[in-house]
Amino acid sequence: MEGSDASSTSMLPMRSPHWHLVSRPAVASVPGDSSVPPWSGSVLGVLASLWSSSSLEELKLSLTWKQAADAWVQVRANVVAPVLQVAVALCMLMSVMLVSEKILMGATSLFAKVFRWRPQRRYKYHPLGEDMEVGYPMVLVQLPMYNEKQVYKLSIGAACGLLWPSDRIIIQVLDDSTDPEIKNLVELECKTWKGKGFNIKYEIRDNRHGYKAGALKEGMKHSYVGHCDFVAIFDADFQPEADFLMQTVPFLIHNPDICLVQTRWKFVNSNECMMTRIQEMSMDYHFKVEQESGSTMHSFFGFNGTAGVWRISALEEAGGWKDRTTVEDMDLAVRATLCGWKFVYLGNVKVKSELPSTLKALRSQQFRWSCGPANLFRKIHKEILKTKKVSPRKKIYLIYSFFIVRRIISHTVTFMFYCVVIPSSVFVPEVKVSTWGVVYIPTTITILNSVGTPSSFHLLLFWIFFENVMSMHRMRAVWTGLLETGKVNEWVVTKKLGSKLNEQKTEEPLKQTRLSISGRILFPELGMALYLFVCACYDLRYGKNNYFFYIYPQAITFFIVGIGYVGTLVPS
């Protein structure tokens, strides 16, 4: 050990003065030698003793540090390294599962695009003629709302603008608002459109039990719903184009085995800030690859809760809306597919919507979207295994691909591998991480995710670091759902600021932002930032794998998010 050699070497010169000093009193006692005082021998002897005691303490301290270092080496080699190596192996296995799933989805989506294997070719589809009055089915349009002051006019106006015979459509506004002022505004807007001849219903209830699922369930109980064949659902910030029903309903009319037609989301505020650009990349991948591949291979995918049309009979057969999780839309979709129904995704039909533009809103949304599916898997996996109406192949797809890999493993491995295991390995040189796990797999995943939004390819690095930060929040949500603890059923409505955010920023919200800066500090993220910074510094000084090139920017990203400096409204 270099430390022990240096310590032992430095101790040798410190002993020699003691040997000389001890001999001097004998010289001083020689008669006739007046150059040395008679008391000097005693003084020098005391000093020599003190010097010897100090050297002994330094020797003991040196031995203590050496023993501690040797003990750490033993513990590191025999305990820490094996545990960390197992963690590396598990993360590598999960990474292989994840990248294999993404390659399969990407290949399927590419096949559908190259060979034009669109729903219009796979299913019967005949456009409805504009002069076709008698054959139009009755359609219910549901608009669930909760204190949507900024967007209620947009959504109600868009629903009333749908091209459909006025006597064959009912627009149902389900207002769960708790703010009396907003409630009055929404009711007044409904009365305005009703005065123009539209069949619009304003429905409220005296509680918010079940949140959105409860509102939709109550909405289906009204007598006039019994006359409807299909129901289209739009969240408050969604604005469908006028021909939305004309493009979606024909699939349900001509294909009695189809129960759901899901369309794509188009974001009106994607260019507001870096955070919305990054969200757009993830959401575009979800629709262009995940939804497209699920529709092509299995006629199944997770209902997105909005911008879709359901066959009411199928909805009722599946058991209707349930509020047992925070993903009532996915719950309904899984139960419907277990009844043997098929889904269709229309990527060419786009509905305008809004992305969360504040970090608080995004975190609330992502917690719900990550916790809900994991909790749903806990509650429905036995039902999937027992059902006899779907093939074993679809059961495997539902349990392995749809739930385990995409909803559990993806969030867990992203955080644990790239933010914990790899950075921690810099302290344990005995642990080896294969290059293909550190470089090739994440590179493949990143490239596959970039195909959804080619225009944002230059933002890939920002996307990687931000998604890694969010993976900690998502992983916590996933395991909260799996273990059914904490805030597993907490529903926080994603706040919408409207498509004209810059025009709607007033002094009041800015003032509220300044006053709540202390509440925006995210201590877990700051703790991760500090830990990663230490890992990077250690790797820079002692490491050989050059992980610090990645760990430093990741630590900075954790710090930026930790202080809340992300989104359109940031601390001042």
Catalytic residue, chosen from 235, 329, 331, 539, is 329
Task: List phi, psi (to 5°) of 328.
Answer: -60, -25
Contact 571, 479 (CB under 8 A): no
Integer Cα distance of 326 and 211 in angstroms: 9
Task: Report DSSP state, residue 127.
Answer: P
Give the orientation angle of helix 359-386 with respect to helix 274-285, to 10 degrees. Answer: 20
- List alpha helices for 406-522, DSSP H: 410-415, 422-424, 435, 441-450, 460-483, 501-504, 507-515, 517-520
Relative to beta strand 230-233, strand 200-203 is: unpaired
Catalytic residue, chosen from 175, 176, 284, 331, is 176
Residue 456: count of CB within 10 angstroms of its CB: 17
Integer Cα distance of 370 and 1 in angstroms: 49
| β-sheet bridge partners, residue 184 | none
Nearest to 558 by CA among 477, 478, 470, 479: 470
Token pair for residue 421? 């295991």
Contact 285, 154 (CB under 8 A): no
337 alpha-carbon distance from chain centroid: 26
Token pair for residue 555? 């630590």
Residues in contact with 143: Cβ distance below 8 Å, sequence separation at least 6, in sequence order: 155, 156, 159, 171, 172, 173, 174, 234, 235, 236
| β-sheet bridge partners, residue 232 | 141, 309
Residue type, 340: G
507 alpha-carbon distance from chain centroid: 31
Contact 216, 174 (CB under 8 A): yes
Integer Cα distance of 167 and 426 in angstroms: 69
Residues in contact with 349: Cβ distance below 8 Å, sequence separation at least 6, in sequence order: 241, 244, 247, 248, 263, 264
331 a catalytic residue: no
329 a catalytic residue: yes
| β-sheet bridge partners, residue 169 | 139
Residue 65: count of CB within 10 angstroms of its CB: 13
122 alpha-carbon distance from chain centroid: 33
Integer Cα distance of 263 and 178 in angstroms: 30
Token pair for residue 166? 């006025």
Give the C-alpha distances (Å, rounded to integers) separating 250 from 128, 341, 486: 7, 17, 44
Q: What is the DSSP string of 351-362?
A: EEE----BHHHH
Contact 263, 351 (CB under 8 A): yes
Residues labelled catalytic: 176, 329
